[in-house]
Chain A
Amino acid sequence: MDATTHHEEHHGPTVKMYFAIFFALAILTVATVLAAKVDFSQVLNNESVGSLVNNAVALGIACTKASLVILFFMHVKYESKLVGLAVVASVIWLAFLVLITMSDYLTRASDWHLFVR
């Protein structure tokens, strides 16, 4: 049993790694706040591209943070491929939900929001 414990220490998650992930998450949190204070619409002198950049940076950092949590804190890196497949499937499902919904809303005649106060 000693041998297996020893074996796990080399291939499983370590305390050092948990703290490294924690510091990465903290730094990315500060980064996303700082990036949000920059108005890329003014930097790039283009409102639509600028807000796209602001959104892409915010979501990119959030996705990076989520990936770190999933892979290391939630041990998906060390689980079977089946678990990894399940996680990826949920992301694809979410992408379908948002993309197909938006493809509808962005292309229909825009009278529906007259019903919104």
Chain B
Amino acid sequence: MSSLASSLQHHFADFKQQKESVVLGMWSFLIQEVMFFGGLFATYTVFRSQYSHAFAEASGLLNVNLGGVNTIVLICSSLTMAMAVHAASKGNRGGIAFWLLLTILFGSVFLGVKVVEYKEKWDHGLIPGIHDEGLRFDHVTHQPRPTGFWLYFALYFAMTGLHATHMIIGLPILATLAINGLRGKYGPEYYTPVEMTGLYWHFVDIVWIFLFPLLYLIGAHGAH
């Protein structure tokens, strides 16, 4: 492969050393992402411990079916991403493009469902900073909401919003990889960009794996 010689940076002794450095560098980035999201998860833990009943009541207003379907959709996109990396490691050009396009498709479905959910929250008047009344009073019974109710929705939008932002950033990267894959830029000797983007995409999946039970399921047994 002619592109292969140019993909070894001069400051590395060989591809093995370059690969190890890149993998560790990518993980350093992902650990920084853990810190990024970690602040929100810690904030969530603090307020949920203080306002557990308000959080359960607010969580009960989310659509568990849509959240569950989205969880499966995201797991599908992780599988297709893993398959894309596998295809790249075999130098299968069509395979890289096919699996990456499927990953983009599942990622887009996820974001589409998220738009439907956000629209639902908008219609129910549950957006912090915009719908002050809806967050203070139930618009049907006119009963006051419990203390901390709005905090749940502030965290819901901050956490799912940051997660969705990561996916929106990921989609064009996946598209670029698919085009480069079709052009034969990746083969068994060098497919690091596909593999590193895979790490990013799987990380975003892991964030959702925690967001789903923490945001959607705490009110699911309807005791409150």
A49: CB under 8 A from chain B? no
User: Given the complex, which residues of B lie within 8 Å of A42, measured CB to CB?
Assistant: 223
User: Given the complex, which residues of B lie within 8 Å of A70, measured CB to CB?
Assistant: 202, 206
User: Given the complex, which residues of A lie within 8 Å of B116, measured CB to CB?
Assistant: none
User: Given the complex, which residues of B lie within 8 Å of A116, measured CB to CB?
Assistant: 147-148, 151
B150: CB under 8 A from chain A? yes
Q: Select one of B42, B202, B210 contacting A101, CB under 8 A.
A: B42
Distance in angstroms between the alpha carbons of A18 and B223 in the assembled complex: 38
A33: CB under 8 A from chain B? yes
Complex contact A86–B28 (CB within 8 A): yes
Complex contact A79–B49 (CB within 8 A): no
Q: How far is the CB of B42 from chain A (nearest CB, A)?
A: 5
Q: How far is the CB of A86 from chain B (nearest CB, A)?
A: 5
What per-residue 1/0 map shows which CB atoms of B135-155 lie under 8 Å from chain A?
010000000000110110000
Given contacts A13-B86, A74-B198, whether A36 and B220 have CB atoms under 8 Å apart is yes
Complex contact A73–B82 (CB within 8 A): yes
Interface of B is mostly: helix
User: Given the complex, which residues of B lie within 8 Å of A26, measured CB to CB?
Assistant: 72, 75
Which chain A residues numbered 1 to 46 have a C-beta less than 8 Å away from chain B? 1, 5, 8, 12-13, 15, 18-19, 21-22, 25-26, 29, 32-33, 36-39, 41-42
B175: CB under 8 A from chain A? no
Distance in angstroms between the alpha carbons of A93 and B52 in the assembled complex: 25
Complex contact B210–A66 (CB within 8 A): yes
Given contacts A15-B83, A18-B86, whether A58 and B150 have CB atoms under 8 Å apart is no
Complex contact A22–B79 (CB within 8 A): yes
Q: How far is the CB of A12 from chain B (nearest CB, A)?
A: 8
User: Given the complex, which residues of A lie within 8 Å of B38, measured CB to CB?
Assistant: 93-94, 97-98
Q: Select one of B27, B41, B75 contacting A25, CB under 8 A.
A: B75
- If A15-B86, A26-B75, A86-B31 are given as contacts, then 20 extra A-B residue pairs at C-beta distance below 8 Å, sorted by A number, are A12-B89, A18-B83, A22-B76, A29-B71, A32-B213, A36-B218, A41-B223, A42-B223, A54-B218, A69-B209, A70-B206, A73-B82, A73-B198, A82-B20, A82-B24, A83-B27, A93-B38, A98-B42, A105-B49, A106-B49
What are 14 A-B pairs with beta-carbon distances under 8 A?
A: A1-B188, A13-B86, A25-B78, A29-B68, A32-B213, A39-B221, A39-B223, A65-B206, A83-B24, A90-B30, A93-B35, A113-B50, A113-B51, A116-B151
Binding site for A on B (CB under 8 A): 20, 23-24, 27-28, 30-31, 34-35, 38-39, 41-42, 45-46, 49-52, 64, 68, 71-72, 75-76, 78-79, 81-83, 86, 89, 136, 147-148, 150-151, 188, 195, 198-199, 202-203, 205-206, 209-210, 212-214, 217-218, 220-223
